[in-house]
Structure 1
Amino acid sequence: MSTTPTPAASSGTNDGKNYQFALTSLTFLFFIWGFITCLNDILLPHLKQIFELSYVQASLVQFCFFGAYFIVSIPAGNLVQRLGYQRGIVVGLTIAAFGCAMFYPAAALRTYPLFLAALFVLASGITLLQVAANPFVTALGKPETASSRLTMTQAFNAFGTTVAPQFGALLILGAVTAAVGTEEYKIQEAQSVQMPYLLLATVLIIMAAVFAWLRLPNVQDDTEAEAEAGAKEDSILSHRHLVLGALGIFLYVGGEVSIGSYLVSFMGQPDIAGLAEHDAGRYLSYYWGGAMVGRFIGALAMQKIAAGKALAFNAIFTVLLIILAIVSHGSLAMWALLAVGLFNSIMFPTIFSLALAHLGRLTSKGSGVLCAAIVGGALVPVLQGFIADMVSLQLSFVVPLVCYLYIGYYGVKGHKVKH
């Protein structure tokens, strides 16, 4: 196994069969971490009720999770550069398993700070997985189809986020039998997270053992010249397309999470759909499910379509849909915003792969920079919420609108490598 990760595998080093086996293994990894990440949507209201938290206190669940991306990503990139992709994945799985196991004492002691610590450790492991696995997928095959491969694996990540709430609702929310409001009820609520997260910890440990045992392809440099240039580069931030890509990841994740965060309230507006929260919540599945469907479609289409063009096309349609949601009313505005999920589908993996192009030996550090930019998911929704409070919820969607305008620019011009 190579100890120095790089952006693309050299042709002739490994055959297609080996790549297919490696990609299959990594695809299951993407599914698992998508599954775990989406359980936060179940965990947040659950902990809010256990500890009788305010909304601000409960929001620390997401801040701890996104905060790990910001704090851990750069050190993770350095670690992966030393260990290589495969060993980085093993370490990430082990850390994530430890974070899941921490939920058991946190629930037994009913201590909210310990829950937050467990979330941070869990997210740190997932951050390391992101830093190692995303560029590994782009490396396993031809550079021109890197976006297609990453889009396909991200589709299974989205599949994990789609099915996780159903399991979480059954194993966590549905496990309490005591009368509401009693002390026994609170104890059962806390303990209901123990078994699911212990099961997840067990799965992660097994996966770490499997990935340590697997003989995955070594990843070599595109060219010796590129590797030498990467090794001599003074600063990862001197690569313009990477810096612009990091801003693209920040704005994309921020825009996607902003829309998802305020969709239920938007659909509850009297002049939009007037839906009750539980009814609007069911429609929310169209937004996230659209991203999953779009990634499967995009993975096939992008084998023939240039990644930059596909990104720009989707960004333009997303901008038009958000404008329609801002200026119209009723079901038209609602469905316009829900349809954004379909066009969101290819954006993250496409920006990610374009930003990592031609980085040579700096690829793992570049991956760390991009993963740190995921913190946009914690910050952009706050800005939209501020505008919603000051003006109106409908007009506040101008915030994600601006995010997608930039993504369109990145697809047209910003991703191009300046030598």
Structure 2
Amino acid sequence: MTLKSLPIFLAFLLMGVADAMGPLSSAVSANPVMAALMPFFVFIAFAFFSVPAGVLATRIGKKKLLLAGLGLNVVAVAVPTFLDPPFPLLLFCIFLLGVGTTLLQVAGNPIMRDVSAPGAYSRNLALAQGIKGVGSTASAYLVTAISSLAVFAALSWRAAFPVFFALMLVALLSVSTLRIEESPAEHPPSVGSCLALLKVPVFAQAVLGIFLYVGAEVCMGTFLKPAFIAHGYAPDRAALLGPALFFGALTAGRLVAGLLKVSAQTFLRISATLGTVGLALLMTGLKAALLPAVVLGGLGFANIWPMLFALTVEEDPVRASELSGLMCMAISGGAVLPLLMGRLGGGASPLAFIVPLGGFAFLLFLSLKGGRRTES
């Protein structure tokens, strides 16, 4: 890590603020449908804005796109900071936060290459994703913890927003002072030319891999607690030993990966293997296999995104922003695979873990296959 990369790491930390909208939603509304709209409005932004953001990053530069994302997020969190907004206005702010975070993801992943020393990109990206995980956990914790402080008690569910606002401003100012040499594109891209990259097998496979990975991760976050409850664990303990332990192992795995000098391809193979073994253990339905499965799964899931992303960008660094847009669009896999797993019985049915296991079988295939761009 260098001083030049610190503002980018701060931007990754603040990407986790959007993940706090899930825990926040229950505090805003007791109506489950209205509460579900908050994370939905964050999530939907990735599906619609990732590819256009990738095109825009190539045209105006990744730094400017990163600043635009931070600017949108400053506005989005400023409204609840200074006002008690009606629900429609709050939803608009949450959507704006989703758009801003989409821009941060699309610009942040490839710009890390521009501020990394040669050979350090995949490690720095893994570390950045770990820091994003810390941001997600800390933001979710702030939502409930900070409202208990007397100075913030009057703000109720809005208590964490002044903190978010201050941090967003600091990130905006620090990134604006960075001098970054970006790799220019030979030809200005369009949405059509960006989508045309999917005709290249190595890129299409990487996007599908990200789609399956994100879907599998959301499956784990959604169904691990019911899986533990189905084996007789109390709900509180099931939440601690299920999703909390999984995401803790995931964050630790990313932070460790940022410190190890191992090739991205090797790390991808190790990660895909561990994730596949963990999911296979969950499919056995054995109570004794639950904890080892969660730990192995968390460590395996940890570095799929940064390693697969870094390997894909290295295939064509000049088109890094467009590739980032495509892979961020694939985050929509988080909406599809959990529905399939739910139809098979969710966490209560060990057989249902065939859905994320199938996704990881494909990722294991990709890791063994390697890269090397080949035109169709």
- TM-score (ref. length: structure 2): 0.89
Q: Deviations over 1:77-114 (max 9, x none)?
A: 122112212111111101011121243588443x2x43
Give 3-state SS (helix, strand or coil) of 1:93's partner: helix
Partner of 1:132: 107
Distance 1:61 1:336 in 2: 31
Give 3-state SS (helix, strand or coil) of 1:193's partner: helix
The one of 160, 175, 180 equivalent to 1:217 is 180
Question: Pairwise mapping of residues 60-139 of structure 1 onto structure 2 (< 5 A)?
Answer: 60-103=37-80, 107-109=84-86, 111=87, 113-139=88-114
The one of 236, 244, 269 equivalent to 2:205 is 244
2:346 is equivalent to residue 380 of structure 1: no
Question: Any unmatched runs of 5+ in structure 1?
Answer: 1-18, 177-187, 222-226
- Displacement of 1:414: 5.6
Q: Deviations over 1:118-158 (max 9, x none)?
A: 21110110110111111011233456432112111112112
Question: Any unmatched runs of 5+ in structure 2?
Answer: none
- Displacement of 1:324: 1.3
2:128 is equivalent to residue 170 of structure 1: no
- Displacement of 1:115: 2.8
Distance 1:33 1:124 in 2: 11
Distance 1:410 1:142, change over 3 A: farther
Distance 1:98 1:374 in 2: 24
Contact conserved, 2:58 with 2:188, CA < 8 A, in 1? no
Distance 2:296 2:36 in 1: 27
The one of 233, 237, 253 equivalent to 1:294 is 253
2:153 is equivalent to residue 202 of structure 1: no
Partner of 1:282: 240
Distance 1:169 1:195, change over 3 A: closer
Contact conserved, 1:231 with 1:361, CA < 8 A, in 2? no
Distance 1:192 1:415 in 2: 50
Distance 1:215 1:319, change over 3 A: closer
Distance 1:258 1:80, change over 3 A: same
Q: Deviations over 1:229-253 (max 9, x none)?
A: 8979953333322221111111111
Question: Pairwise mapping of residues 2-401 of structure 1 onto structure 2 (< 5 A)?
Answer: 20-34=2-16, 36-47=17-28, 50=29, 52-54=30-32, 56-103=33-80, 107-109=84-86, 111=87, 113-141=88-116, 144-172=119-147, 174=148, 191-212=155-176, 214-220=177-183, 228=186, 235-269=196-230, 272=231, 274-283=232-241, 284-301=243-260, 303=261, 305-388=262-345, 392-401=348-357
Q: Counterpart amino acid of 1:367? A: S
Q: Counterpart amino acid of 1:252? A: Y
Q: Counterpart amino acid of 1:297? A: V
Q: Counterpart amino acid of 1:383? A: L
Partner of 2:364: 408
* Largest Rg, 1 or 2: 1
- TM-score (ref. length: structure 1): 0.80
Contact conserved, 1:68 with 1:124, CA < 8 A, in 2? yes
Distance 1:175 1:107 in 2: 19
Contact conserved, 2:274 with 2:296, CA < 8 A, in 1? no
Distance 1:400 1:107 in 2: 40
Distance 1:73 1:147, change over 3 A: same
Q: Deviations over 1:303-329 (max 9, x none)?
A: 2x3322321222122112211121142
Q: Counterpart amino acid of 1:139? A: D
Distance 1:45 1:104, change over 3 A: same
Q: Counterpart amino acid of 1:127? A: T
Give 3-state SS (helix, strand or coil) of 2:102's partner: helix
Contact conserved, 1:230 with 1:360, CA < 8 A, in 2? no
Give 3-state SS (helix, strand or coil) of 1:219's partner: coil
Contact conserved, 1:92 with 1:126, CA < 8 A, in 2? yes
RMSD: 2.7
Identity of aligned residues (%): 25
- Displacement of 1:282: 2.3
Alignment length (residue pairs): 369
Distance 2:156 2:236 in 1: 23
Distance 1:313 1:195 in 2: 41
Partner of 1:10: none
Distance 1:385 1:115, change over 3 A: farther
- Displacement of 1:117: 2.1
Distance 2:288 2:342 in 1: 23
- Displacement of 1:64: 1.6
